[in-house]
Amino acid sequence: MLPAAVLALATAGIAAAANGGFTPQFAHSPNTHHTNTAYYVILGFTGAIFVIVESALALFIWKYRSRGRARTVEGFQLHGATRLEIVWTVIPVVILAVIATVIFIELPNITGAPASAANPLEITVEGHQFYWQFDYPNGTRTINDLYVPVGQVVELKVVSADVVHSWWIPQLNGKIQAIPGRTNHTWFRADRAGTYYGQCAELCGPYHEAMKARVIAAPLDEYVVQREMATEALGKHEFQGVCATCHGMQGQGGYGPALANNSLLTQKSGLEAIVRNGRGLMPPVGNTWNDAQVNALVQYAKSKIFKGASTSGG
């Protein structure tokens, strides 16, 4: 009874995972299709080798069991088998050569966007402790949610404002690091409208796990509207995506101190100084923000978060 229950528990997680839990997420961009192809080729070889080796092991354990012989009896001794040794050297060499060939064929399609792509959308992805900031060609910015047109090549410049992060949307692109002082490049082309989820893949500080990202792909006209709506709600997204990680969604406090009764929220100069420069444990979360971003945060904090100054002494 107990083993059956344990087995059911152990397999439930695997069954609940999207595709048996053994394979990458379903690809929704040409480059991830190529990544998955490489994965399945290697899985094919390693799977076959696993089955052959483990079957042989089980077979030999059973076939050559001691059958009551004394422990001290020596087995049959064999020296030199040139043909066998050549065979078991050549087969792995051939397998590795096939895998390497497949990888070298697939790699250019994974790393580089198709040269034929007509006017790709260029987006800068900036990693911050602990959020993602996206810069669009028209000068707008969004936080944590990246809006893209479906079916269009999106070229990403991946940078960091502080420490090393890793940009990864498993259905759209492989991992690429965001490294301070360096620009890395990746791309994707979402093949259908929808929301694709990702998470910073490099341990980057106490709130690494809060660095979630979404890519929202929609037809071109919808994409433009969604991006504009996000830009108008920038202050809200900044508070919820940046400040709330440590200070709570209502500014009630958490890892960082409570803000809701702090009159600093109503003073642009003071708030801007802290956001840009950090203070104590707080990182300079807004060190790359433009004036519009600071204004948006001040507006939102003043009107939605500030609950009036606390009266000292109760």
The answer to whether 222 and 230 have CB atoms below 8 angstroms apart is no
The window from 49-57, 201-209, 226-234, 289-297 that contacts ligand CUA (CB under 6 A) reads 201-209
- Rule CB under 6 A: say whether 123 interacts with ligand CUA: no
HSE of 221, CA atoms in CB hemisphere, 13 A: 0
The DSSP H or E segment spanning 182 is none
> For ligand CUA, how many residues bind (rule: CB under 6 A)?
8
- Rule CB under 6 A: say whether 169 interacts with ligand CUA: no
Give the whole-angstrom CA distance, residue 244 versus residue 251: 7
The dihedrals phi and psi of 73, each to the nearest 5 degrees, come to -75, 125
**One-letter identity of residue 74:** E
- Rule CB under 6 A: say whether 143 interacts with ligand CUA: no
Closest distance of CB 203 from ligand CUA, Å: 6
Both structure tokens of 65: 């069991």
Residues, the chain, total?
Answer: 314
Strands 131-135 vs 141-143: parallel, antiparallel or unpaired: antiparallel
The answer to whether 259 and 216 have CB atoms below 8 angstroms apart is no
- Rule CB under 6 A: say whether 161 interacts with ligand CUA: no
Name the residue nearer to ligand CUA (CB basis): 106 or 238: 238
- Rule CB under 6 A: say whether 165 interacts with ligand CUA: yes
Instruction: Please work out, in degrees rounded to the nearest 5, the angle formed at the alpha carbon of residue 285 by the alpha carbons of 279 and 287.
Output: 95
- Rule CB under 6 A: say whether 127 interacts with ligand CUA: yes
- Rule CB under 6 A: say whether 189 interacts with ligand CUA: no
Name the residue nearer to ligand CUA (CB basis): 144 or 262: 144
Closest distance of CB 165 from ligand CUA, Å: 3
Closest distance of CB 123 from ligand CUA, Å: 18
The window from 47-55, 202-210, 222-230, 266-274 that contacts ligand CUA (CB under 6 A) reads 202-210
Where does this chain bind ligand CUA (CB under 6 A)? 127, 165, 200, 202-204, 208, 211
